[in-house]
A = this chain, B = another copy of it.
């Protein structure tokens, strides 16, 4: 049972509510995992439970990572700066072919440790052995949307695709009603999934009323490949299959025409924008301002650590704000307030969780972080939103609360034995080294 009551006071409260309200000195009261009050001033002296003095820091909703492959923490820095196919074929595929459930469990826990320390309180994961990702998230106390990656070739986890569908159904049924973990159906991408696979995945998602998540239009090469194979670009291909609907979360969505953006907006497709991965893999620059102008709901994602190489939405925010400015030589695009919304409330919308998380409002679940502003690089403080996007770093996150539970206090992880976890990660890395040798 988590603490019944927790109050965080002496804070600048960045609510991310519809009016982007900021309380220059206020408090947040947490009761039974939910937000009981968000108020200006000091809390009543009678407020029970645990009291956390933010010491003038910022309190804001936990950041939401709308796309990652958590267990790939174990591949971070294994190989970089290579052409995509060489990187996949010489390193990632051989390693993934050998991995097992225990490997994914360790990698996902390592990711949870990193995310809690970076102020990420919710992530959407696509990977193999998704049950293990779910268990890792639950054990670490991190909110997650997980899904087993589905594709045409045999999987190191489930084997043939029929077993993948069965695994997915069982995953959904197992985790139904869990306070932290939910499940999505996650076919990999149009270029790795035949139309029949995609249709069946969509049927399962509809049957269980869970999101459908897919990589979409990540590279120009993929776009051309789909066009050659099906005579249509990826978005039109999905549309013909009946998959371009409001239940679809499209990861990356880099290579889009204006018409495709308009169609995605019309259909209510949501997008996970993974700017640093797109840069490092040289995939391309997504048309983020156009997506937003068209009314598409967009959140931010880190992608996996093999292609980024971190799980750090403070870094992503900074890069999102800067890249799109230089891309169009206009310093006014992707202003800090817009970017901070993408990392919080809009991320919640992407995952279909905005009724529960994404802002500090009474009645929502208590997923929140405290940022320590008593730092040279955050002093003076003219504008909290500017600092959060352009100057704060993940290491400035002092406390992390998820579903009302304090999972990090003064940068000490409370749900993870870090030293032991790092030892386990090193042991798994020794395996990886032997696999790719």
- Residues on A lying within 8 angstroms of B by beta carbon are 73-74, 76-78, 80-84, 87, 110, 113-114, 117-118, 220, 276, 278-285, 305, 308-312, 315, 318-319, 321-323, 325-326, 328-332, 334-336, 374, 376-377, 379-383, 386-387, 390-391, 393-396, 418, 421-422, 425-426, 428-429, 432-433
Known: A284-B326, A322-B279, A382-B429. A77 touches B391 (CB 8 A): yes
Known: A276-B322, A283-B326, A309-B386. A332 touches B81 (CB 8 A): yes
Determine whether the beta carbon of B380 is less than 8 Å from that of A429.
yes
Determine whether the beta carbon of A380 is less than 8 Å from that of B426.
yes
Known: A282-B326, A318-B315, A329-B220. A77 touches B276 (CB 8 A): no
Known: A279-B323, A281-B331, A331-B281. A310 touches B391 (CB 8 A): yes
Give me 11 other A-B pairs in contact (C-beta within 8 A), A80-B386, A282-B330, A381-B429 excluded.
A76-B386, A76-B390, A77-B382, A77-B391, A117-B377, A279-B326, A283-B326, A309-B386, A312-B377, A379-B426, A380-B429
B residues in contact with A393, CB < 8 Å: 312, 393-395
B residues in contact with A276, CB < 8 Å: 318, 322
Among the interface residues A284, A380, A391, A394, which one has the most CB atoms of the partner chain B within 10 A? A380
Determine whether the beta carbon of B84 is less than 8 Å from that of A331.
yes
A98 CB to nearest B CB, Å? 16
Determine whether the beta carbon of A425 is less than 8 Å from that of B282.
no
**Of B278, B309, B318, which one neighbours A390 at CB under 8 angstroms?**
B309
Q: Taking CB as reference atom, which chain B residue is nearest A389?
A: B80
Determine whether the beta carbon of A425 is less than 8 Å from that of B279.
no
Determine whether the beta carbon of A81 is less than 8 Å from that of B376.
no
Determine whether the beta carbon of B325 is less than 8 Å from that of A78.
no
A335 CB to nearest B CB, Å? 4
Q: Taking CB as reference atom, which chain B residue is nearest A80?
A: B386
Determine whether the beta carbon of A113 is less than 8 Å from that of B382.
no
Known: A321-B280, A429-B382. A83 touches B309 (CB 8 A): no
A-B contacts, 7 of them at CB < 8 A, read: A73-B376, A74-B380, A117-B376, A117-B377, A280-B331, A282-B326, A283-B326
Determine whether the beta carbon of B391 is less than 8 Å from that of A76.
yes
Determine whether the beta carbon of B114 is less than 8 Å from that of A433.
no
- Cα A80 to Cα B118 in complex, Å, equals 24
Determine whether the beta carbon of A335 is less than 8 Å from that of B74.
no
B residues in contact with A394, CB < 8 Å: 393, 395
A318 CB to nearest B CB, Å? 7
Which 9 pairs across A and B sit closest by C-beta, in order of nearness?
Answer: A380-B429, A395-B395, A279-B322, A77-B386, A81-B335, A309-B390, A113-B376, A279-B326, A282-B331
